[in-house]
């Protein structure tokens, strides 16, 4: 699986993310061609080779040629929806702006649709956010990861006046995602600056998982910011491949014992845990003290999801405490193919090990939908899809 791992040792901004992707191999002409599918004029985008402190990379500059008023989330949503961009790119860009709108709405005590984006509503921010989604797609990136970002220190100018660093919207995005912040670098004391912008925070917290997986690097890029600082003001990105036996670095197991809660309530708890990003949830019956029957809720998750999942357990159960432990997990590679049965398409989950597909399993939801539609026993749909899926077993797994 091809991944991008961002290393925000000097924070991140929209133009730094674009610059890093271009420096890692994204063709600028392909990027501009895709951006032209947005009904957005009044700008030119260019790439400059630059360097600081012996490190060289790319700086992306968006020259705005027309004055543009601030936009609302509704206007930006319609701009993206009406574009000719690929559906997955539209969805990703909309998700980023949606989280940004929710953060701004909370800060300004307003409804998300009515929020006016000032700094992030201009042409350059739309280019940065849509461009980042386009760039990742053009590079064939399947998953995005990031290290903890530096946020900076001091104060910054905004449309609302002087604000503390990190900007309120940046802080809200980090808190909402439960993202760890890097320990401040000493040079900040001499050169206070805003390092992580709301646009950069929105892109990373929406698209990235905040952990470093085991991967084989293939390319590296540096995207430089506009400021000259006492250290290289750049964002580093690694492009590489995760192998099928990637260990579970950054995964935790959360557990809590319950013996005084209606067992029927657990269904909603489980639903909300999965909705917040849990990788797996299971319930184990146990005997508690004084012979009382009880249950253990176990939650497997990425470490960066811990805060949200613990909050769900405390708010939705009677627990007084949640245990956590680090987990090392060896995972088989997974991918999907679609087969055409006589009743309709069914997705097949392929399991791979050592570069070869070793198993093929039809998706239950697809089989169930076709069985209901055609009033068939589900086993008939499943059996046919499984026979067709077996044709993939033994083939070389696609990275």
Nearest residue to 385 (alpha-carbon basis) of 313, 337, 315? 337
pTM of the model: 0.63
346's enclosing H/E stretch is strand 344-353
pLDDT score recorded for residue 181: 75
pLDDT score recorded for residue 212: 85
Q: Checking phi first, is residue 344 left (phi over 0); if not, alpha (psi -120 to 50) or beta?
A: left
Residue pair 367/349 in contact (Cβ under 8 Å)? The answer is no
DSSP bridge partners of 209:
145
pLDDT score recorded for residue 248: 45
Please state the domain extents for the chain: 2-241, 251-327, 333-392
Burial of 351 (0-12, 13-18, 19+ CB in 10 A): middle
- Report the Cα–Cα distance between both ends of the chain, in Å, rounded: 5
Burial of 84 (0-12, 13-18, 19+ CB in 10 A): exposed
- 123-138 vs 14-23: helix crossing angle, rounded to 10: 30
- Phi/psi at 146 (5° precision): -150, 150
Residue pair 210/180 in contact (Cβ under 8 Å)? The answer is yes
**CA pseudo-torsion sign 209, 213, 217, 220:** positive
Q: Report domain 333-392's class.
A: alpha beta
CATH architecture classification, 251-327: 2-Layer Sandwich (3.30)
| CA pair distance 365, 362, nearest whole angstrom | 9
Residue pair 252/42 in contact (Cβ under 8 Å)? The answer is no
pLDDT score recorded for residue 383: 97
pLDDT score recorded for residue 173: 92
Q: For the CA atoms of the chain, what is the radius of gyration?
A: 24
- Most distant CA atoms of the chain, gap in Å: 75
For residue 77, the tally of other CB atoms under 10 A from its CB is 19
Nearest residue to 386 (alpha-carbon basis) of 365, 368, 367? 367
DSSP bridge partners of 115:
none
pLDDT score recorded for residue 157: 74
pLDDT score recorded for residue 187: 46
Reported as half-sphere exposure (CB side, CA atoms, 13 A), residue 197 has a value of: 20
pLDDT score recorded for residue 65: 80
Burial of 283 (0-12, 13-18, 19+ CB in 10 A): middle
**Average confidence (pLDDT) per 10 residues, the chain, 399 residues:** 93 97 97 94 92 95 78 90 94 93 82 64 85 96 93 75 84 82 57 88 93 88 93 96 59 93 92 93 93 94 88 93 86 89 95 89 95 96 96 83
């Amino acid at each position: 699986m091809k991944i991008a791992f961002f290393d925000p040792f000097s924070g991140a901004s929209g133009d730094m993310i674009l610059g890093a992707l271009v420096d890692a191999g994204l063709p600028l002409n392909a990027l501009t061609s895709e951006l032209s599918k947005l009904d957005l004029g009044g700008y030119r985008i260019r790439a400059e080779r630059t360097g600081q402190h012996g490190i060289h990379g790319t700086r992306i500059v968006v020259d705005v040629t027309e004055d543009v008023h601030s936009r609302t989330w509704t206007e930006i949503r319609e701009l993206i929806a009406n574009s000719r961009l690929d559906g997955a790119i539209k969805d990703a860009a909309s998700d980023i702006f949606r989280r940004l709108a929710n953060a701004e709405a909370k800060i300004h005590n307003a409804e998300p649709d009515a929020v006016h984006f000032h700094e992030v509503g201009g042409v350059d921010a739309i280019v940065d956010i849509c461009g980042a989604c386009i760039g990742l797609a053009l590079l064939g990136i399947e998953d995005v990861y990031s290290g903890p970002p530096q946020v900076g220190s001091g104060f910054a100018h905004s449309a609302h006046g002087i604000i503390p660093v990190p900007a309120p919207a940046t802080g809200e995005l980090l808190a909402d995602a439960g993202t760890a912040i890097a320990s401040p670098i000493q040079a900040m004391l001499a050169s206070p600056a805003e390092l992580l912008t709301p646009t950069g925070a929105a892109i990373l917290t929406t698209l990235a998982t905040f952990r470093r997986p085991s991967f084989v690097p293939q390319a590296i890029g540096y995207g430089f910011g506009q400021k000259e600082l006492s250290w290289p003001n750049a964002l580093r990105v690694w492009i590489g491949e995760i192998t099928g036996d990637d260990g579970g670095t950054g995964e935790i197991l959360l557990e809590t014992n319950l013996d005084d809660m209606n067992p029927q309530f657990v269904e909603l708890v489980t639903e909300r845990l999965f909705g917040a990003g849990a990788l797996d949830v299971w319930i184990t019956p146990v005997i508690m003290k004084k012979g009382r029957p009880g249950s253990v809720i176990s939650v497997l998750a990425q470490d960066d999801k811990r805060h949200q999942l613990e909050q769900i357990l405390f708010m939705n159960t009677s627990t007084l405490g949640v245990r956590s432990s680090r987990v090392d997990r060896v995972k088989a590679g997974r991918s999907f193919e679609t087969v055409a049965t006589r009743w309709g398409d069914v997705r097949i989950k392929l399991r791979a090990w050592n570069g070869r597909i070793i198993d093929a399993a039809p998706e239950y939801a697809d089989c169930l939908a076709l069985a209901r539609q055609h009033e068939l026993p589900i086993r008939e749909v499943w059996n046919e899809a499984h026979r067709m899926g077996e044709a993939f077993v033994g083939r070389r797994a696609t990275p």
